[in-house]
Chain A
Amino acid sequence: MSRPKLPALPCLLLLVAAATRIYPAAADARPIVIVIHGGAGVIEPARMTPAKEASYRAGLAAALDAGYTVLERGGTSLDAVTAAVRTMEDDPQFNAGRGAVLNDQGDAELDAAIMDGNGPHSGAVASVLHVKNPIELARLVMEKSRYVLLVGEGAEEFALEQGVALVPRSYFRTEAREREFEETRHAEWAPRNASTGAGRGVQPNSMDTVGAVALDRAGNLSAATSTGGLSTNKHRGRVGDTPLIGAGTYADNQSCAVSGTGQGEYFIRGVVAYDVCALVQYRHLELAQAVREVIHEKLRRAGGEGGVIALDPAGNLAMDFNSVGMFRGARDSRGRREIAMYRDNAKP
């Protein structure tokens, strides 16, 4: 596969990164780290053009750096994951916020969750149709309501009460998604019954989601995830794992922070995000080992596809998936900065 030429800025950063590796900062006892993903339902390598790949990489880099900048300035991990996810929600390439996939009614129906590992506290929204940045509304649910999860019109009523301006449904629709909607609507495909695991056939592009996990200078972990859910043909009202604490999103300073992407129904049934942290906390597995067991053993055995990003309090991170690829990126104060899409194609 041909690769786009490295633009000047990443080259510079690569040099900086290399330099930092040689001369690690003394203050590194308290690392800061951010990890992001832009979905595991990625385009097959064969169908990826250099232009598309460059564009996705730029989108991931923008989100990664937006989150890292927050941490670098001494900000909280909560602010960092919010900034990273908001950046991807606003980028129409990703299945979250603007550019989210359309449900069987032709609408973008959005879900998001955020969790603060210090507490832990959490907030989530599901099935909202008019909220520009669902991750920000999830955070308001956490900080300004007595609740954890608000859905549908009730969530939008809360948004208005909090002074969040609503946007028309047309804001989320992009030409590409409308084309996809029309194509998929008429396409024949064998639905796989994901609530039972029965049936066969998997819908293309059904696993795009965006998410971030971060560790700040104070040692606090946070996780955030946002999605438009399954691609075209999802039943109106369907909610996946993203806004469900424990399934697609989880953070606890005692164990780890996780954001998932994949076939949501399998993530719900396996309580995937929490399971990774339970293996770390109670079976004392290394983070990477716990992620491997959940993604490559349990999830695969159940028949589910997808991946997670995860981070522990020491700054160890994992980005693993059992699908073709997972759009992802990581940056930390030890000089690591990488963006990758498939296996072994990490680049700064």
Chain B
Amino acid sequence: MYAIAIHGGAGAVPRATLSAEREQRCRRGLEAALDGGYAVLERGGSSLDAVATAVRILEDDAVFNAGRGAALTREGAAELDAAIMDGRQLRAGAVASVRHVRNPVELARRVMEKSRHVLLVGAGAEEFALEEKFTLVPNLYFRTAERLEQLEFAQRGERVSDLVPPAPQGTVGAVARDAGGNLAAATSTGGLTNKRPGRVGDSPIIGAGTYAKNGVCAVSATGHGEYFIRAVAAHHVCTAVEYRGLTLQQAVHELLHGILRALGGDGGLIAVDRDGQVVMEFSTEGMFRGARDSRGRREVAIY
């Protein structure tokens, strides 16, 4: 039994404003990432490779808020965060506030595998990227006309979703269980449109936006990051399963509709448990998501 689930962000995606053409683009992007990650599992690859592959595909797709096409800071730059976690030995790596790394999830993985650290930020993270022979790209690589337009609307204080084809808010991520029972999670994001430079959300924070522990679950979150940090969201789901014996579905439901709602935050998350059961839930209007497993499930959905 193996399974993968992905998300491309949660948020206000009013049906009326999502054009058929754009919806098609989002669905195609999700399918490509889902199948890319699934192919790794099918070949007997690890859940870690599967989530890294799926997230890299989403990062390269300009329609999603991660890697190319990331949301822009108030100064018009892309500032990227990512994390990856291997549930086997609770190994983890993360980067935050990087501006010139094409695939932040790959740098996060390199932090996990080649450094003594878990989290590197800013210029220090890019220095590490160079030491690891990554080729840096100009910040302009990430910027798309759509994101610039979104930033301009946000700065004029107008409601973004009324005027611009809505892009997924938030984040991209993946969780997987491989045939060996190993769990992994990865998350990558450009963060909030018009954010203050230096702002870091939940994505690169182990336990908040990303967590994986073999025998329990793997989680990747998307939504209003500040609330997910305070709720220690991803780890909360895992402790609810591990300490209280809740099902993954119950744990996710309690987090999103109980704890986060009480704090005033919304969003969504995807999770997979040790048996390969996938949960994809959100408290927003929609969440771009997909799941595929070796029992024949294959679905992509938005609402």
Mark A residues whose CB is within 8 Å of B: 109, 115, 119-122, 126-127, 145-155, 157-158, 191-197, 199, 234-240, 244-247, 250, 264-265, 268-271, 274-275, 278-279, 282-283, 302
Contacts and interface: CB of A to CB of B under 8 A. Distances in A.
A278 B117 contact: no
B146 to A, nearest CB: 24
Interface in B95-126: 96-97, 111-113, 115-126
B112 A147 contact: no
A126 B236 CA distance: 23
Interface string B173-206: 0000000000000000000000111111100011
Contacts, number: 172
B206 A244 contact: yes
A145 B229 contact: no
Interface stretch (B16-24, B37-45, B56-64, B239-247): B239-247
A286 B273 CA distance: 29
Contacts of A147: 195-196, 199, 226
B275 interface: no
Contacts of B263: 119
A83 B128 CA distance: 36
Given A120-B230, A245-B230, A268-B92, A150 B124 contact: no
B229 A122 contact: yes
A235 B122 CA distance: 12
Given A149-B199, A247-B206, 8 more contacts: A154-B198, A238-B120, A239-B119, A247-B205, A270-B90, A271-B211, A274-B207, A274-B235
12 contacts: A126-B121, A149-B205, A151-B97, A151-B198, A152-B122, A195-B92, A235-B127, A237-B122, A239-B121, A246-B205, A246-B229, A247-B205
A235 B117 contact: yes
B97 A191 contact: no
**Best-buried of A145, A197, A271 by chain B (most CB within 10 Å):** A271
B32 interface: no
Contacts of A197: 89, 91
**Best-buried of B124, B197, B201 by chain A (most CB within 10 Å):** B124
B116 A237 contact: no
B196 A145 contact: yes
B206 A151 contact: no
A127 B117 CA distance: 14
B208 A245 contact: yes
A150 B200 contact: yes
Contact of A238 (B119, B195, B229, B235): B119
A153 B197 contact: yes
Nearest to A298: B90
Contact of B206 (A120, A154, A250, A271): A271
Contact of B127 (A148, A236, A264): A236
User: In terms of DSSP, what is the predominant structure of the interface of chain A?
Assistant: mixed
Interface residues of B, number: 49
A237 B121 contact: yes
Nearest to A244: B205
**Best-buried of A191, A193, A196 by chain B (most CB within 10 Å):** A196
Nearest to B89: A197
A279 B243 contact: yes
A108 B120 CA distance: 15
A151 B117 contact: no
B230 A282 contact: no
Nearest to A127: B121
B8 interface: no
A193 B112 CA distance: 9
B206 A236 contact: no
Q: What are the nearest 7 A-B pairs in CB distance?
A: A237-B124, A154-B198, A236-B124, A271-B207, A246-B232, A154-B197, A152-B122
Interface string B211-240: 100000000000001100110100110011
A269 B92 contact: yes
A245 B205 contact: yes
Nearest to B233: A246
A125 to B, nearest CB: 9
Interface in B66-113: 85, 89-93, 96-97, 111-113
Given A158-B198, A244-B205, A122 B119 contact: no
A245 B229 contact: yes
A304 B52 CA distance: 27
A140 B226 CA distance: 15
A196 B91 CA distance: 5
A32 to B, nearest CB: 25
A127 B199 contact: no
A127 B118 contact: no
Nearest to B96: A151
A121 to B, nearest CB: 7
Contacts of B117: 194-195, 234-235, 238-239, 265
Contacts of B127: 235-237
A150 B225 CA distance: 13
Nearest to A146: B226
A332 B92 CA distance: 38
A151 B205 CA distance: 13
A255 to B, nearest CB: 11
A150 B239 contact: no
